[in-house]
């Protein structure tokens, strides 16, 4: 499923680039000279599978580039993309307020995997024809912080096609709130502060007014979609590093066993 969704998703947030068909270097070539048909054969098989998956991810990364139209929407924001952090943030400093948009990396992948492990009826499967990237677009949360002298407003949003859906809102009178540096999803879940009624219980006119308030500050569906497109690529880069780390460990262990 992961491999299939990686291929099909390129039609959405990414544009095709040149074909990346020849990887050249293979980590498994390091293992072949030391190959022995012993109890280590399972380790060799694992290394081969890891190397194959790594080649596929390299191909996907080589064939996809971020959509330029979406990237243009981020022109007024400063992007913070630390490779060691599981999120991407976009910030903007205005005269009397500071705006921060945060999109996490892994939450949607976990939900998507769990979702596919649940048995579905035939009708549900027909209506659930989304690939993984489509699921990212319609489920991964986006957290917006707007900080003024009066305090910090934090809201959680969901992107549904070209529409921003309001999910929840929390207000903290302390403008130097720990929310500014903490994991926002965890902070919102564990906070004892009142967050208003559930979004589905709020009047539609109130929710639409909140969305228009955000859009006036250039927090638009286009901006969120651009950040999600970056998240998609960042997840693949993180997955590539994860595969490489395991493969290096396997190769090192095999090399150590061969010389002992």
CATH number of 113's domain: 3.10.280.10
Q: What is the mean pLDDT of residues 153-173?
A: 85
Instruction: Give yes or no: residues 101 and 173 share one domain.
Output: yes
Is the pLDDT assigned to residue 43 strictly greater than 80?
yes
Q: Is 100 helix (H, G, I), strand (E, B) or coil?
A: strand
Q: Which residue has the tokens 């319609």?
A: 138
Q: What is the mean pLDDT of residues 27-41?
A: 54
Q: Which residue has the tokens 């490779």?
A: 83
* CA 34 centroid distance within chain: 38
**Rounded Cα–Cα distance for residues 180 and 138 (Å):** 25
Is the pLDDT assigned to residue 205 strictly greater than 90?
yes
What is the chain's mean pLDDT, rounded? 73
CB-count exposure of residue 66 (10 Å: 0-12, 13-18, 19+):
middle
Instruction: Give yes or no: residues 160 and 250 share one domain.
Output: no
Instruction: Give yes or no: residues 120 and 174 share one domain.
Output: yes
Instruction: Give yes or no: residues 255 and 193 share one domain.
Output: no
Instruction: Give yes or no: residues 180 and 251 share one domain.
Output: no
Instruction: Give yes or no: residues 125 and 98 share one domain.
Output: yes
pLDDT of residue 5: 47
Query: Please, what is the Cα angle at 13 between 7 and 14, to 5 degrees?
Result: 65
Structural domains of the chain, count: 2
pLDDT of residue 174: 66
Is the pLDDT assigned to residue 128 strictly greater than 70?
no
Is the pLDDT assigned to residue 92 strictly greater than 50?
yes
Instruction: Give yes or no: residues 159 and 36 share one domain.
Output: no
- What is the phi-psi region of residue 246: left when phi exceeds 0, alpha when psi lies from -120 to 50, beta otherwise? alpha
Instruction: Give yes or no: residues 53 and 158 share one domain.
Output: no
pLDDT of residue 38: 44
Instruction: Give yes or no: residues 191 and 109 share one domain.
Output: yes
pLDDT of residue 133: 61
Instruction: Give yes or no: residues 77 and 200 share one domain.
Output: yes
pLDDT of residue 40: 74
Q: What is the mean pLDDT of residues 12-30?
A: 48
8 A C-beta contact, residue 34 and residue 254: yes
Distances (CA, A) of 64 to 45, 89, 222: 29, 22, 19
Instruction: Copy the structure tokens of residue 101.
Output: 């948009």
pLDDT of residue 37: 45
Q: Which domain, by its residues, includes 9? A: 2-66+234-259
**Rounded Cα–Cα distance for residues 236 and 82 (Å):** 15
Instruction: Give yes or no: residues 33 and 107 share one domain.
Output: no
Q: What is the mean pLDDT of residues 70-75?
A: 87
pLDDT of residue 239: 86
Is the pLDDT assigned to residue 9 strictly greater than 50?
no
Is the pLDDT assigned to residue 197 strictly greater than 50?
yes
Whole-number percent of the chain with pLDDT over 70: 60
Instruction: Give yes or no: residues 139 and 36 share one domain.
Output: no
Higher pLDDT: 226 or 66? It is 226
Higher pLDDT: 198 or 134? It is 198
**Rounded Cα–Cα distance for residues 8 and 257 (Å):** 41
Instruction: Copy the structure tokens of residue 217.
Output: 């500050």
Instruction: Copy the structure tokens of residue 238.
Output: 């993180």
Q: What is the mean pLDDT of residues 163-189?
A: 69
């Amino acid at each position: 499923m992961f491999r299939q969704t990686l291929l099909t998703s390129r039609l959405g947030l990414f544009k095709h680039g040149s074909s990346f068909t020849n990887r050249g270097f293979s980590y498994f070539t390091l293992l072949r000279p030391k190959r022995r048909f012993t109890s280590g054969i399972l380790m060799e098989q694992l290394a081969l599978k890891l190397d194959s998956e790594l080649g596929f991810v390299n191909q996907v990364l080589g064939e996809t580039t971020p959509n330029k139209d979406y990237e243009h929407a981020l022109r007024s924001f400063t992007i913070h993309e630390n490779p060691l952090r599981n999120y991407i943030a976009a910030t903007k400093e205005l005269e009397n307020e500071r705006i921060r948009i945060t999109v996490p990396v892994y939450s949607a992948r976990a939900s998507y995997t769990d979702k596919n492990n649940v048995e579905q009826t035939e009708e549900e499967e027909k209506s659930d024809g989304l690939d993984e990237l489509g699921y990212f677009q319609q489920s991964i949360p986006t957290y917006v912080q707007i900080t003024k002298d009066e305090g910090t407003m934090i809201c959680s949003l969901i992107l549904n096609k070209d529409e921003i859906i309001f999910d929840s809102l929390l207000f903290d009178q302390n403008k130097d709130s720990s929310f500014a540096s903490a994991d926002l999803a965890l902070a919102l879940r564990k906070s004892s502060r009142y967050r208003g009624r559930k979004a589905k219980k709020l009047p539609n006119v109130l929710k639409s007014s909140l969305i228009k308030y955000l859009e006036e500050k250039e927090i638009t569906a286009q901006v969120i979609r651009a950040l999600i497109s970056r998240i998609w690529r960042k997840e693949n880069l993180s997955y590539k590093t994860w595969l490489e780390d395991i493969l290096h460990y396997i190769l090192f262990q095999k090399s150590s066993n061969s010389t002992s």
